[in-house]
Structure 1
Amino acid sequence: MEGLKECEANLVVHLHPSKAKSASEAIFSELSSLLFTYSETFGGVVLAYDPNIRSNLGKVLPGIHPHFGVSLKARLLLFNPKPNMLLEGEVVKITPQSIHAVVLGFSSVFIGDEDIRDEFKHKIKSGKEEYVSKSDKKHKIKVGTILRFVVKSFDEDILHIVGSIADDRTGCARWMNKNLDKWTQSDSTTRKTKNVDGEGLQT
């Protein structure tokens, strides 16, 4: 999935002298405090870490708040969605005006009516709301569906994504994986039509 990346970081963790006997535990605690928060330093939301402590305990530095430093190198898994990236998330709510989903279990997604392409029609079946494709009734979006969508924006403070399924590459991921040739051909036809009209041509 787009939006995920790995990086290596050289870090120094500063610990209170009282943590000297359990430094490893204290280091993991400090690194855990970074999880599922956006870090400008690393350029993304920290999802996981794999530390490699490279030095013994440093010298205790005196002061109002004495501490010692431990150097380490850590591999980080980051999540940083950008506009126009294709992501997937699980649908958690459907309304006549919107689709709500969650990516990776923590980042909420909102797709408004203006970003749901006309191909999909809102319906209520057995008391449950869903969007059904006019061209193929088996292409449905409902609660529990893994939805493939395009990122419009990402709020780093609240980890909220505004998405869109106006693009032909978006919809129910399971249906699209089973009908790869069908939607790829549809997308190709759309591009050809634009070129005939004189739009989308490279100069």
Structure 2
Amino acid sequence: MDGLTVAKSMLSAYLHPSRTDDVQQGVLQLLNSLLLRYNEEFDGVVLAYYDIKICNWTAKILSGFSPYLNLKLKAKLLLFSPKPGMVLEGKVNKVEKDYIGVILLGIFNAAVAFEDIPEEFCYQDNVVGIPLWASTSSGHVITLGSTIKFVVKSVQEESFLDISGSLKPPNTGCVNWLLSLSEKGSTVLEAERKIHKEDRKREIRTENSDPKVNDGHRVHREFSADHSHEREHKHTSKRKRNNTDAEVKDVGTVSEDFPANQFHERDYKHKLKRKRNDTDSEIKDGGTGSIEFPADNFLETKYNHKSKRKKNDIDADL
């Protein structure tokens, strides 16, 4: 519930010299005097205290006619400090024509005035004669013993709290009625979800029974199949390329490891082979020339050589 807080406080306790024999008991007696009263220092009513720690056991005697002992102590305090706008919950203990009385936490009194009750409510007595406030449209009833929620309008902070509230804001009224309303709302939402689910199933069945829709689904499936085959073909080609690249890399590795003497030997063999090929081509060219060489040209050349030898012989005789 709103308004309940826990505060860590540093307190000063003034003990009478007669309490020096039992300091702890004297401290508890002083704290009990703070309970259920509004305290301006804490801005609320102290409902309980716990985790008490005395900070100094060597208390100083105060000057004056009453030499009290001053102690410092720490404690955690449970405070009730309602403020306007908070939502509080209490039990109805009075139902009158001009107001509804509520008791909070079994201690504090609050009142909801006639002008703060919704207009749809009217005051009446039930068949047994018990007074109540009932709604004329929604079946909302507030009677003696009902637990209600209300919004705080104002708080008068005196020695005791005087709280006034209102039932006009939303989510206020009898707690049982609010719970049934929320359960009804959740039931309605669940029913709407079921209806929506059934409608969706009906639409799916209608789509399945429609041949146009089925054709569209079949085309989609065929398109998906073609797409999958094309994708598989691409993956196969990619794997082949990867294998080829791997083989090329392997060959490159072998060529790097190939001995230098084998490389020179192979180069020498290639040179010899080229020379033989050149020689064979020259022989072929010469043979072809001898076959095509004219016979009369050959005889003329032979005659020239004989004439030249004769001239040489005559010159030698002279």
Q: What range is the shorter-chain TM-score in? A: 0.7 to 0.9
Higher relative contact order (CA closer than 8 Å, sequence separation 6+)? 1
Specify the structure having the higher radius of gyration (Cα).
Answer: 2
- Could you tell me whether the CA contact under 8 Å between 1:99 and 1:110 is conserved in 2? yes
**Aligned counterparts of 1:23 and 1:169: Cα–Cα separation in 2:** 50
> Partner amino acid for 2:21?
K
Partner of 2:100: 99
Deviation at 1:183, TM superposition (A): 7.8
**Aligned counterparts of 1:140 and 1:179: Cα–Cα separation in 2:** 13
> Partner amino acid for 1:2?
D
CA-to-aligned-CA distance 1:93-128 (integer Å, 9 cap, x gap): 101221011111222111111100023222201110
Deviation at 1:182, TM superposition (A): 5.7
CA-to-aligned-CA distance 1:29-59 (integer Å, 9 cap, x gap): 1111111111111111111111222332413
Partner of 2:110: 109
Partner of 2:76: 75
Q: Provide TM-score, normalisation by structure 1.
A: 0.83
Partner of 1:180: 182
CA-to-aligned-CA distance 1:133-164 (integer Å, 9 cap, x gap): 33332x32111111100100011114111111
| 146, 157, 171: which one aligns with 2:173 | 171
* SS in structure 2 at match of 1:30: helix
**Aligned counterparts of 2:133 and 2:111: Cα–Cα separation in 1:** 15
Query: Runs of 5+ in structure 2 lacking a partner?
Result: 187-318
Partner of 1:4: 4
> How many residues of Structure 1 are paired with residues of Structure 2 in the alignment?
183
Q: Provide TM-score, normalisation by structure 2.
A: 0.54
**Aligned counterparts of 1:4 and 1:183: Cα–Cα separation in 2:** 30
1:135 aligns to 2:121 (yes or no): no
**Aligned counterparts of 2:60 and 2:82: Cα–Cα separation in 1:** 40
More strand by share: 1
Partner of 1:24: 24
- Could you tell me whether the CA contact under 8 Å between 1:169 and 1:183 is conserved in 2? no
Deviation at 1:181, TM superposition (A): 5.7
Query: Runs of 5+ in structure 1 lacking a partner?
Result: 185-203
More helix by share: 2
- For residues 185-200 of structure 1, the aligned pairs below 5 Å read none
